[in-house]
């Protein structure tokens, strides 16, 4: 009887501890929010509040509407498949979040895995072209004839030189395991034949 009573007391204590832990964990959320509001640590949480009568701030105040940049979209397929952007170009304000879809289809009679490599022209634009979401971050496996659409979401940094009026975003899509091709560059000058006289 003594051992059974001790076990029952232990189970009771464990139930009390488990209930206390659950209550503490559940109470942490409002406690955390309150501490963040008092200390100002979580500034994003303050921005989510809707204050009646207060003017709504724009979603992104960093958009430079005083200028537009033409972004051209290019797709190079290194293999027997179809790969293209949904649009060839867009006018974008620096700081503006923009999304463009790319379409890919495996036209082979076998399963394949592939990945895209991006490149930019002019080269100085690369440091100011911030991709939020991009299919180039991952490898993809497609079945024979399978067709997919993938987004590229990007923001051009307003600090980009005002001399840059056009940016070309180019992707080379290659089969994984077939050898990674070099990133596309500007068109090279034609090779000279014959020796100089």
pLDDT in tens, 2-42: 788 888 999 899 999 888 887 877 676 777 666 666 665 55
pLDDT value of position 39? 61
Q: Is residue 191 one of the residues assigned to a domain? A: no
Burial class of residue 131 (count of CB atoms within 10 Å of its CB; 0-12, 13-18, 19+): middle
Domain shared by 75 and 167, yes or no: yes
pLDDT value of position 71? 93
* pTM listed for this prediction: 0.56
Considering its fold, how many domains does the chain have in total?
2
Q: In whole angstroms, what separates CA 103 from the centre of its chain?
A: 17
Token reading at 175 = 């089969």
Domain shared by 33 and 122, yes or no: no
Domain shared by 39 and 79, yes or no: no
Mention every residue, 6+ apart, whose C-beta is less than 8 A from residue 94.
63, 64, 67, 69, 156, 157, 158, 160
Domain shared by 97 and 155, yes or no: yes
Q: 135 lies in which domain range?
A: 69-175
Domain shared by 78 and 164, yes or no: yes
Greatest Cα pair distance, the chain, in angstroms, is: 112
Q: Is residue 182 one of the residues assigned to a domain? A: no
Q: Is residue 157 one of the residues assigned to a domain? A: yes
Domain shared by 38 and 96, yes or no: no
Domain shared by 32 and 112, yes or no: no
> Consecutive 10-residue runs of the chain (197 residues): their mean pLDDT?
83 89 75 64 45 46 83 83 88 91 88 86 89 85 88 90 90 70 45 41
How would you classify the pairing of strands 140-142 and 112-121? antiparallel
């Amino acid at each position: 009887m003594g051992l059974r009573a001790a076990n029952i007391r232990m189970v009771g204590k464990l139930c009390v501890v488990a209930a206390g832990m659950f209550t503490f964990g559940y109470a942490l959320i409002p406690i955390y929010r309150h501490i963040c509001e008092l200390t100002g640590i979580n500034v994003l949480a303050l921005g989510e509040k809707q204050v009646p009568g207060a003017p709504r701030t724009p979603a992104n105040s960093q958009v430079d509407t005083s200028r537009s940049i033409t972004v051209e979209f290019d797709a190079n397929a290194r293999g027997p498949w179809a790969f293209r952007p949904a649009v060839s170009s867009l006018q974008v304000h620096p700081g503006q979040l923009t999304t463009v879809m790319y379409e890919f289809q495996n036209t082979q009679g076998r399963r394949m895995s592939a990945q895209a490599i991006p490149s930019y022209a002019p080269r100085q634009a690369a440091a100011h072209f911030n991709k939020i979401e991009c299919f180039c971050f991952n490898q993809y496996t497609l079945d024979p004839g399978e067709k997919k659409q993938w987004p590229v979401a990007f923001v051009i940094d307003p600090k980009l030189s005002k001399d840059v009026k056009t940016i070309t975003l180019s992707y080379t899509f290659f089969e994984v395991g077939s050898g990674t091709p070099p990133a596309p560059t500007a068109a090279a000058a034609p090779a000279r034949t014959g020796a100089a006289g």
